[in-house]
A and B are shown apart, each in its own frame.
Chain A
Amino acid sequence: MITAFAIFSDGLVYAAYLFLVAVGLTLIFGVMKILNVTHGSFYAFGAYGAATAVGIWFDRGLSDAGGFLFMVGVAMLIGLVIGLILERGILRLVYGRDEVVIVLVTYAAFLILEDVIVLVWGPRSYPAYQPMVSAGSIDIGELTLSNYDIGLVVLAAALAVAVWWSLKYTRYGRLLTVVIFDREVAAAYGINVKVIYTVTFIIGAMLGALGGAVMAPKISVTLGIGVEVIVLAFAVVAIGGMGSIEGALIGALIVGLGRAAAVHLMPEIELFVIYAVMALVLAFRPYGLFTQPAPRKI
């Protein structure tokens, strides 16, 4: 029983993390049909930015709650700037090329940004544990849960609702849905697709940076975190269906709970299980659990 509860709580926290990372990726894919490898860099930049912000804030001994907001704000600002530069500077030039070619373009940008991180922050790692510590923890039965983790789950759930609500009920969300459905028809009706693309990419980048920022206190921010996170996000998004927000949520829950179960019951298969699930889903439903296959062109 205690193991089951531990699996459930660990899995939920891990799923929250995965959803925060994957939601931006799936949004960009849904609207722009870009499988964005650079998302790993957004995450890494967010984490580094947050770690720096935490360092500055807590060294001065300022209030804890403000520290969290400052950390998130800095990270999202970085996401905004990088997203804008990438979309306007590079991706704009390759719209209309093969999807696979655009993946390679984002891969090239990812390599460049990996070194930009080294140039800006250097090779050392940055601890940013203060928000995690100051949040404290609570005991439920025999288990100790960190309040920060609980906050993470709440944040992910709130984000899921917010994204779903804005897609459905806001003006921008509805325009987005039209563009997702048919880009050309949307343009013919006078929707400025270019602006939608730029805004979507920036939102995606900011969400990626947010994922990095809220994870920074839980991990040691160090080189190579973007490399790891991007394959995980790919797995989540591929399981749920690329471009689907519900898909990202379900994918995150499947991978999160699956991994937590593996960690507690059979640690040897921890890494294996994520990609095995991904391969299995792709084998039976290549377009993921939540998307319909696109018709073949003749």
Chain B
Amino acid sequence: MLTRANLFGALVFVAVAISALFLPPWLVSLATIAFANALVVLGLVILWRTGLVPFGQALFYAIGAYAVALIGRYTPIRDVFVVVLAGAVAAGVVAYVIGFLLARYREIFFAMLSLAMSMILYGILVKSEALGSTDGFHVEAGSFLGWRPQGALRNLALFWLVLGFCAIAAWVVGVYFRSVAGSMAIPMRDNEIRVEFLGLSVDRLVHLKLVISGVLAGIGGALAALAVQHVDPQMAYWTTSGGFVFVTVLAGAGSVAAAFVGSLAFELVRSIAVALLPGAWQLILGSALLLTILFLPEGLGSLYSRLRRKPAAPKEQPGGPS
């Protein structure tokens, strides 16, 4: 699928990867976390397009992160590709299993049940010594196919790793959005029964969305664990999920790119706000969220598409550059 949008997206990723060589280290570290979290947001975008808001996506995020941490602690495997894939698989399996239950729920009940699931994990993590209890534990530095960079080079390598996963995820999700299962998202939000009359099982479509978003959140959590080099139960707490939902609403469900731009913007605003107004950064974030919901119901991403579409009639469906 070598469309013009894909080519453009690939060029952007390569440009970002090269520019990392010239950026200050703090910005590279910040972008590493931001893009790792963007994968979780990308998963939430998939669900948000159907009108589903899980207030417990941190479940999969924490599973991905803890998978990396536990492999590092109890086995000699250190390769980043292996551990990140293990995190993705672990989160995917959990998403698949609880998906049988969760996929039957909508609206607030979906949000609440998913919240309950993540709080169960939080409760387990906080109380079990083998899993590090409240303090969590340290995650060892990984090796990249046998190569063990140190210091600044490690940060750079990690950034490229995150970027690589992001590029693949963006492409896959772009393909998914254009597929039948993906393009049913908005009809499902409008009226599920009509979709069922088309001969599609809505529950199964939601289940698929859950597994995709779970895998993405698992990868995001695994990468975040490698970047921060620490995991703790806070990763499964509801405020973590709330943060992801926050970015999703802010970015909007319009396009794949919005998840990455939104997540980067969020991390930047947050670190600037924390530095300048340490006592009021939640106030700033809350106001931003409120204003977005009131005046830009489709998110900041819709600003861009609004501007672009003004001259000509709408050409393509949201799904946009990937």
User: What is the interface of chain A, defined by CB distance below 8 A to chain B?
Assistant: 35, 90, 93-94, 97-101, 103-105, 107-116, 118-119, 123, 227, 231, 234-235, 238, 242, 267-276, 278-279, 282-283, 286-287, 296-298
Q: Is the CB of B108 within 8 A of A35?
A: yes
Say which residue of B115, B124, B293 sits within 8 Å of A101 (CB atoms). B293
- Closest Cβ neighbor of A293 among chain B residues: B109
Say which residue of B111, B113, B282 sits within 8 Å of A103 (CB atoms). B111
Contacts of B239 in A (CB 8 A): 227
Ordered by A's residue number, 23 sampled pairs between the chains whose C-beta atoms are within 8 Å are A35-B112, A100-B107, A100-B111, A103-B55, A110-B286, A112-B282, A112-B290, A115-B286, A118-B280, A231-B115, A238-B116, A269-B127, A271-B119, A271-B122, A274-B119, A275-B117, A275-B119, A278-B112, A279-B117, A282-B105, A282-B116, A286-B109, A298-B191
State A286–B294 Cα separation when bound (angstroms).
Answer: 30
Q: Is the CB of A115 within 8 A of B282?
A: yes
State A111–B238 Cα separation when bound (angstroms).
Answer: 13
Q: Is the CB of A234 within 8 A of B294?
A: no
The verdict on A276 contacting B120 (CB below 8 Å), with A109-B286, A112-B282 known, is yes
Contacts of B249 in A (CB 8 A): 104
Q: Is B53 an interface residue (CB 8 A)?
A: yes
State A108–B283 Cα separation when bound (angstroms).
Answer: 9
Contacts of B109 in A (CB 8 A): 282, 286-287
Given contacts A114-B286, A279-B113, 15 further A-B contacts (CB under 8 A): A104-B249, A105-B290, A107-B242, A107-B246, A108-B293, A111-B286, A115-B279, A123-B279, A235-B119, A238-B112, A278-B112, A278-B119, A282-B112, A283-B113, A296-B193
State A274–B115 Cα separation when bound (angstroms).
Answer: 12
Rounded to whole Å, the gap between the CB of A96 and the closest CB of chain B is: 12
Q: Is the CB of A104 within 8 A of B283?
A: no
Say which residue of B105, B115, B280, B293 sits within 8 Å of A104 (CB atoms). B293
State A268–B116 Cα separation when bound (angstroms).
Answer: 18
State A175–B24 Cα separation when bound (angstroms).
Answer: 63
Q: Is the CB of A112 within 8 A of B286?
A: yes
Q: Is the CB of A115 within 8 A of B281?
A: yes
Q: Is B305 an interface residue (CB 8 A)?
A: no
Q: Is the CB of B281 within 8 A of A271?
A: no
The verdict on A115 contacting B283 (CB below 8 Å), with A94-B293, A99-B107, A274-B123 known, is yes
- Closest Cβ neighbor of A279 among chain B residues: B116
Q: Is the CB of B280 within 8 A of A119?
A: yes
Q: Is the CB of B123 within 8 A of A108?
A: no
- Closest Cβ neighbor of A90 among chain B residues: B290
Q: Is B39 an interface residue (CB 8 A)?
A: no
Interface string of B62-87 (1 = CB under 8 A from A): 00000000000000000000000000
Most A-side CB within 10 Å, residue of B115, B119, B242: B119
The verdict on A111 contacting B283 (CB below 8 Å), with A268-B128, A269-B127, A279-B120 known, is yes
- Closest Cβ neighbor of A286 among chain B residues: B109
- Consensus secondary structure, chain B interface: helix
Rounded to whole Å, the gap between the CB of B31 and the closest CB of chain A is: 24
Q: Is B289 an interface residue (CB 8 A)?
A: yes
Contacts of B122 in A (CB 8 A): 271, 275
Most B-side CB within 10 Å, residue of A105, A231, A268, A270: A231
Contacts of A99 in B (CB 8 A): 107-108
Rounded to whole Å, the gap between the CB of B124 and the closest CB of chain A is: 6
Q: Is B201 an interface residue (CB 8 A)?
A: no
State A119–B52 Cα separation when bound (angstroms).
Answer: 34
Q: Is the CB of B285 within 8 A of A118?
A: no
State A110–B109 Cα separation when bound (angstroms).
Answer: 20
Q: List the 9 shortest-distance A-B pairs measured between CB atoms, nearest first.
A: A111-B286, A271-B123, A272-B123, A112-B286, A115-B283, A108-B289, A275-B119, A108-B290, A279-B116
State A273–B281 Cα separation when bound (angstroms).
Answer: 34
Rounded to whole Å, the gap between the CB of B144 and the closest CB of chain A is: 37
State A104–B288 Cα separation when bound (angstroms).
Answer: 12
Rounded to whole Å, the gap between the CB of A87 and the closest CB of chain B is: 14
Q: Is the CB of B120 within 8 A of A104?
A: no
Rounded to whole Å, the gap between the CB of A114 and the closest CB of chain B is: 5
Contacts of B280 in A (CB 8 A): 115, 118-119
Rounded to whole Å, the gap between the CB of B255 and the closest CB of chain A is: 20
State A62–B289 Cα separation when bound (angstroms).
Answer: 45
Contacts of B217 in A (CB 8 A): none
Q: Is the CB of A271 within 8 A of B279?
A: no
Contacts of B104 in A (CB 8 A): 286
Q: Is B21 an interface residue (CB 8 A)?
A: no
Q: Is B184 an interface residue (CB 8 A)?
A: no
Say which residue of B51, B119, B283 sits within 8 Å of A100 (CB atoms). B51
Q: Is the CB of B107 within 8 A of A108?
A: no
Q: Is the CB of A111 within 8 A of B107?
A: no
- Closest Cβ neighbor of A270 among chain B residues: B127
Most B-side CB within 10 Å, residue of A269, A270, A283: A283
Q: Is the CB of B127 within 8 A of A114?
A: no
Q: Is B245 an interface residue (CB 8 A)?
A: yes
Contacts of B297 in A (CB 8 A): 97, 101
Contacts of A109 in B (CB 8 A): 286, 290
State A114–B287 Cα separation when bound (angstroms).
Answer: 12
State A112–B293 Cα separation when bound (angstroms).
Answer: 15
Contacts of B120 in A (CB 8 A): 272, 275-276, 279
- Closest Cβ neighbor of A115 among chain B residues: B283
State A216–B127 Cα separation when bound (angstroms).
Answer: 26
Q: Is B172 an interface residue (CB 8 A)?
A: no
Q: Is the CB of A268 within 8 A of B108?
A: no
